[in-house]
């Protein structure tokens, strides 16, 4: 009986030691995995790119895109409250509608309320002319055949001189309904201090945001 109790005791101790060894090895594996996943405790999250972000800083901003899943929003109300956005990276200020979603990546900024979109892109490049703006839009049309645009022309907006054009573009068909959303976009290119701001003011077809968008573009100020 004593021999049997000793055998049982030895078996129990062996089991305990084996369990502790496995736990220790598992801990080493976990540490190795965590160490291999990253050498820094700081995590980085890339910001979402704004719709219509520039293909490159010298070519100006890309065309805005509509969302086929979103219904056209109504007109911006007459009692809409506007706030002032200050861009440190772009060196300008502009008014925008309170409550709109805002996203910014360096000199690329977007305000959005469904398919009502305002996009501002600032780059260092020569002062725009009607010919250079037309050339940019022709280049965009090669990759977006639904894009059409009017002949660009010089205009005055508030205290600024700008080149203005109007372009239209369609979303891809909705996967369920097959419907497309048509965006009508007022594009302004404003130069100042060696920089050019491309401001796109987009409205779904059938929506009237003329007064609100005029207020916004006339509020643009270089800083």
Among 53-67, 87-101, 103-117, 165-179, where is mean pLDDT lowest? Answer: 53-67
- Given pLDDT bands bounded at 50, 70 and 90, which one contains residue 172? confident
Q: Hey, what are 1's tokens? A: 């009986």
pLDDT at 20: 46
pLDDT at 157: 93
Separation of alpha carbons 140 and 148, rounded Å: 10
Tens digits of residue pLDDT in 190-222 = 999 899 999 999 999 989 999 999 999 999 999
Tens digits of residue pLDDT in 54-89 = 333 334 588 998 888 776 667 899 999 999 999 999
pLDDT at 60: 54
Q: Which helix (H) or strand (E) holds 202?
A: strand 195-204
Number of other residues whose CB lies within 10 A of the CB of residue 4: 8
Residue 150 has pLDDT above 90, yes or no: yes
Q: What is the mean pLDDT of residues 21-48?
A: 37
φ, ψ of residue 25 in degrees (nearest 5): -65, -40
User: Phi-psi category of 81—alpha, beta or left, where left has phi over 0 and alpha has psi -120 to 50?
Assistant: beta
Give the residue from 106, 125, 96 showing the smallest Cα distance to 217.
96
Q: What is the mean pLDDT of residues 168-197?
A: 93
- Given pLDDT bands bounded at 50, 70 and 90, which one contains residue 47? very low
Give the residue from 158, 99, 108, 154 showing the smallest Cα distance to 127.
154
- Given pLDDT bands bounded at 50, 70 and 90, which one contains residue 37? very low
Q: What is the mean pLDDT of residues 31-59?
A: 36
């Amino acid at each position: 009986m004593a021999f049997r109790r000793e055998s049982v005791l030895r078996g129990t101790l062996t089991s305990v030691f084996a369990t502790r060894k496995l736990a220790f090895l598992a801990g080493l594996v976990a540490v190795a995995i965590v160490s291999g996943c990253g050498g820094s405790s700081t995590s980085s999250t890339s910001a979402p790119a704004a719709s219509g972000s520039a293909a490159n800083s010298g070519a100006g901003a890309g065309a805005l895109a509509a969302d086929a899943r979103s219904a056209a929003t109504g007109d911006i109300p007459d009692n809409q409250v506007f706030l002032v956005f200050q861009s440190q990276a772009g060196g300008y200020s502009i008014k925008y509608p309170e409550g709109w979603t805002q996203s910014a990546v360096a000199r690329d900024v977007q305000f959005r309320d469904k398919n009502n979109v305002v996009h501002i892109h600032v780059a260092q490049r020569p002062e725009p002319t009607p010919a250079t703006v037309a050339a940019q839009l022709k280049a965009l049309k090669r990759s977006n055949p639904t894009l059409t645009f009017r002949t660009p022309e010089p205009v005055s907006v508030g205290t600024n001189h700008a080149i203005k054009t109007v372009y239209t573009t369609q979303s891809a068909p909705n996967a369920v309904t097959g419907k497309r959303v048509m965006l009508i976009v007022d594009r302004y290119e404003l130069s100042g201090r060696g920089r050019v701001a491309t401001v796109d003011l987009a409205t779904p077809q059938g929506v009237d945001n003329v007064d609100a968008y005029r207020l916004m573009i006339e509020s643009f100020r270089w800083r």
